[in-house]
Amino acid sequence: MEATRTLTVGDRVEQMCVTCGEERGHIVASMTKKGRINRVSCPLCGSRVPYKSGTARRATNKAGAPYDRARTYRRGQTLMHPTFGEGEVTAIIEPGKMDVLFADRMRRLIHAHAYTNPGSASAIRVA
């Protein structure tokens, strides 16, 4: 079933890029008057192509850097989760928590999770 969430210019959609030769997140470049995606642009090569709805979603194994909970992410960053695959940060909920949109659904992950913090620098343990 096709997702029914409303997309607007600037949103991200999955599309096969002929220039890059692989499927990746594209940016919606223009909409039709009926509110459907007209054209999308590839953020990597910049090519604009007509949007093809119903493109098979396939997990790409070449996207963002591997997910690292110690890193501090920002909205719009992509990451590669070992279990969920490619994801894009859609919102920072609070310091240390973020919503990440994966190929199938949204998940909440922790980030900026310092392994050491001031005041307990001596609390580093080897598990």
Which residues form the interface with Zn ion (CB under 5 A)? 17, 19-20, 42, 44-45
Report the residue number, 24 or 111, with the smaller CB distance to Zn ion. 24
Beta bridge partners of residue 16, listed in sequence order: 23
Residue 79 CB, nearest approach to Zn ion (Å):
20
Measured from the CB atom, is 26 or 111 closer to Zn ion?
26
Q: How far is the CB of 34 from Zn ion (least distance, A)?
A: 26
Q: With CA atoms as reference, report the closest residue to 81 among 90, 68, 97.
A: 68
Q: Determine the Cα–Cα distance for residues 51 and 44; give it in Å rounded to an integer.
A: 16
Q: Which residue is nearest to Zn ion (CB)?
A: 42
Nearer Cβ to Zn ion (19/53): 19
- Cα distance between residue 30 and residue 105, in whole Å: 24
Closest distance of CB 19 from Zn ion, Å: 4
Q: Which residues contact 110 (CB under 8 A, 6 or more apart)?
A: 69, 96, 97, 98
